[in-house]
Amino acid sequence: MKNMLEFEKPIIDLESKIDEMRKYEDNLDIREEIEKLESKVIKLKRNIYENLTRWQRVQLARHPERPYTLDYIYMMGEKFIELHGDRAYKDDKAIVGGFLKLGHHKVMVIGQQKGRDTKSNLYRNFGMANPEGYRKALRLMKLAEKFSKPVITLIDTPGAFPGLEAEQNGQAEAIARNLFEMSRLKVPIVVVIIGEGASGGALGLGVGDRILMLQNTWYSVISPESCSSILWRSWDYKEQAAEALKLTAEDLLEFGIIDRIIPEPLGGAHRDHTFMAKTLKKALIEELDSLIKIKSDKLVQNRLEKFAKMGVYEE
Amino acid sequence: MGWFKRSKQNISPDSQKREMPDGQWVKCSQCDEIIHNKQLEMNHWVCHKCKHHFRIGSDEYISLLLDRNSFKELDRKMKSGDPLNFVDTKNYKERINSTIKKTGLYDAVKTGTGKIDGKRVSFGCMDFKFIGGSMGSVVGEKLSRAIDKAYEDKIPMIIISQSGGARMMEAAFSLMQMAKTSSRLARLADAKIPYISVLTDPTTGGTTASYAMLGDVNIAEPKALIGFAGPRVIRETIGKDLPEGFQKSEFLEDHGFVDFIVERKDLKEKISTMIDYLT
């Protein structure tokens, strides 16, 4: 595996040893030995992946071989038609969206898109959207509303782009407008954090009726690195910052900020794209089946109440 | 849990104008002019020489904008619950308690109702001196209740923003306050009740990316820093110095995100006139 995280090393070493032994399987009687090692790998995996620190989760969420938005779109659905542009300024490549057939549902799916290599990452701006990206997303949501189609958003971003043009074109206004309009959109919205959910850049697609997180993803107000640099005045405290921020799916489910965790294959979504996409598709169809039964006024009311409950204070 | 529930002891008596201790002199950070506090206050905390708008707190805005003794504060003692038991170089609970002691404020916003030229409004004013005016659960909840007050009583909503953004020590809870306040503003807008947003120095991050940018009318004080990302982060991202005046009120007006800029001495009159147009 070319992209190996440090804590995965013992597993990958053992796996390559097994692969090596397989080559001699026909000549030597080592089948038993291989089986022993295989069960050892499973145990080792369980042991490692069930005891990940929060920082290790962040690393998994950023794993460069994880499925990205377009991977999910093509694996989960059919007849995707991508729609481009905000009708005012530009087409932001960091956010993709369009109509998709998802099982028996016809939906509008929108999400941040990361690249796989330097070239595609530059094209996608590393999944960091500009204002025109948020405005494109809103245009597509309004289109879905007009034709009574549910919206699915897939969130995977290290943040909204902090650039000069982004500021000039109203990054803050674009995100604020999305929060405002998504909160009163008259069709169901299902939000899924599929990788990184960093701050306002994530929330700009994140207001919905059901908020799901894949098991090895993170969602918070700031990345652990930036948090470290601001509060500790050094980049070296990212592990502590990740712990302090309590940014994993389990944390957020406990806080009542998200509704559901979608389990990943052992070792992370990148280990089995097909299985991951199948699991997510099943969950999305379940959520849509129940949400489409709710009348739009009630849906909007419930959404308002859902976010109203978030916050902890003493009176 | 009801949205509108509040306990009686949280409502304070009419506001009292804070007295500056006499005999204090301050230096204008822009032109170095030495100004007497009294003189500064008489001039709405604006330098008489260079018109630099000094950063002022919620009490000062209340005395500037609301009719005398008309402010009735709500949820005065609402306090952060430290949901994450957050510890960085300091423990968040201690940070909160020492800031309360130091500032006399319970969190970074004051909310309540008041009158502007006799017209009743729901009013929220942030305060930078409380952990950089950062928005956590308390700011989100108090503003949401104030917006609901405007909705119930059908009175205009005014929010004065002054904030570094979302409060890191409440992590995802802080982030969700952006969604919470924006959704309440959407309901207010559906009821056709006006919301006037006033942006003062500084208004950045999650505050700008939620209620501060969502006014029917967005008004800014002169030369206030207004943006999403902070200037330092942008400079590091693009690897270049930022142009003169970047992310200042005038820049925002120029690019279409602020309706107009108004000097502090005219702020009350402009808001009052705007309320007349919008009601």
Is A210 domain-assigned?
yes
The stretch B64-76 carries a mean pLDDT of: 98
Q: Tell me the residue range of the domain where A196 lies.
A: 56-308
With respect to residue A138, please indicate whether it lies within any of the assigned structural domains: yes
Cβ B255–A168 below 8 Å, yes or no?
A: yes
What does the pLDDT look like over A258-299, one tens digit per residue? Answer: 999 999 998 899 999 999 999 999 999 999 999 999 999 999
Mean pLDDT of A62-87: 98
Q: Across the interface, do A167 and B227 touch by the CB < 8 Å criterion?
A: yes
As for how many domains chain A has, the answer is: 2
Residue B11: which pLDDT band, with cuts at 50, 70 and 90?
low
Q: Are residues A179 and A47 in the same domain?
A: no
Range B145-168 average pLDDT: 98
User: Given this model, what pLDDT does residue B264 score?
Assistant: 97
Residues near B279 by Cβ (< 8 Å), separated by ≥ 6? Answer: B119, B156, B194
Q: How much is the pLDDT for A91?
A: 98
* pLDDT for residue B5: 62
Nearest chain B CA: its distance from A208 CA (Å): 10
Give the model's pLDDT for residue B3.
65
Output the pLDDT for position A1: 53
| Mutation to test the A interface, candidates B173, B188, B207, B253, most A Cβ within 10 Å | B173
Q: Which of B171, B179, B247 sits opposite A220 (nearest CB)?
A: B171
What is the distance in angstroms between the Cα of A163 and the nearest Cα belonging to chain B? 5
Distance from the Cα of A62 to chain B's closest Cα (Å) equals: 19
In a domain, residue A4? The reply is no
Percent of the residues in chain B that have a pLDDT greater than 70, as a whole number: 92
pLDDT 10s digits, B209-232: 999 999 999 999 999 999 999 998
pLDDT of B8 reads 58
Whether A23 has its CB under 8 Å from any CB of chain B: the answer is no
pTM: 0.94
Beta carbons of B77 and A315 less than 8 Å apart: yes
Residues of A in contact with B137 (CB under 8 A): 310-313
- Are B229 and A171 in contact (CB < 8 Å)? yes
CATH assignment at residue A112: 3.90.226.10
Asked: is B56-278 a CATH 3.90.226.10 domain? The reply is yes
How crowded is the C-beta side of B132, counted as CA atoms within 13 Å?
16
What does the pLDDT read at residue A54?
97
Whether residue A88 lies within 8 A of chain B, CB to CB, comes out as: no
Q: Kindly indicate whether the ipTM for this predicted assembly is greater than 0.85, answering yes or no.
A: yes
* Residues A67, A75 contacting (CB under 8 angstroms): yes
Residue A36: half-sphere exposure toward Cβ, Cα within 13 Å: 5
Of B1, B186, B251, the CB nearest to A180: B186
A-to-B residue pairs, Cβ atoms closer than 8 angstroms: 204
Cβ-defined contact of A307 to B77 (cutoff 8 Å) = no
In this structure, the answer to whether residues A47 and A61 fall within a common structural domain is no
Of A183, A231, A308, the CB nearest to B88: A231
The verdict on residue A1 lying in a domain is no
The C-alpha atoms of residue A172 and residue B226 are separated, in whole angstroms, by 9
Q: How far does chain B reach from its first CA to its final CA, in angstroms?
A: 32
Task: Judge whether residue B10 has pLDDT over 70.
Answer: no
Q: Dihedrals φ, ψ of A272, to 5°? A: -155, 85
Task: Tell me whether A310 touches chain B (CB under 8 Å).
Answer: yes
Q: Residue B7's pLDDT is what?
A: 60
Tell me, yes or no, whether A124 and A18 share the same domain.
Answer: no
CB contact under 8 A, A179 and B233: no
* pLDDT at position B20: 46
Residue B271 has pLDDT above 70, yes or no: yes
- pLDDT tens digit string along A75-99? 999 999 999 999 999 999 999 999 9
> What confidence tens digit (pLDDT) does each residue in A185-242 have?
999 999 999 999 999 999 999 999 999 999 999 999 999 999 999 999 999 999 999 9
Chain A residues with CB inside 8 Å of B167's CB?
221
Q: Which two tokens stand for residue B191?
A: 């009821």
Q: Is the pLDDT of residue B193 over 90?
A: yes
- Report DSSP state, residue B20: P
A192: closest CA of chain B, how far (Å): 15
Per-residue pLDDT, averaged over B26-48, amounts to: 94
Give the pLDDT score at B1. Answer: 54
Question: Are A128 and A154 within one domain?
Answer: yes
Distances from the Cα of A252 to the Cα of A56, A115, A266, B113, B138, angstroms: 17, 27, 21, 35, 19
Q: Are residues A256 and A119 in the same domain?
A: yes
d(CA A297, CA A294): 8
Backbone angles phi, psi at A254, to 5 degrees: -65, -35
Domain ranges for chain B: 20-54, 56-278
Contact across the interface for B179 and A179, Cβ inside 8 Å: yes
B78: nearest CB among A177, A245, A315: A315
Tokens of A311: 């916050």
Among A2-16, B27-41, B52-66, B210-224, which is the least confidently predicted range? A2-16
Chain B residue numbers touching A315 (CB-CB < 8 A): 6-7, 10, 75, 77-79
Least confident of A3-7, A82-86, B62-66, B85-89: A3-7
Q: What is the pLDDT of residue B24?
A: 85
In a domain, residue A315? The reply is no
Same domain, residue pair A97 and A241 = yes
Flag whether A313 is in a domain: no
Residues A254, A230 share a domain: yes
How far apart CA A214 and CA A195 sit, in angstroms, is 8
How do residues A26-47 score in pLDDT, each as one tens digit?
Answer: 777 788 888 899 999 999 988 9
Residues A43, A145, single domain; the answer is no
Give the nearest partner residue to A311 out of B10, B180, B237, using CB atoms.
B180
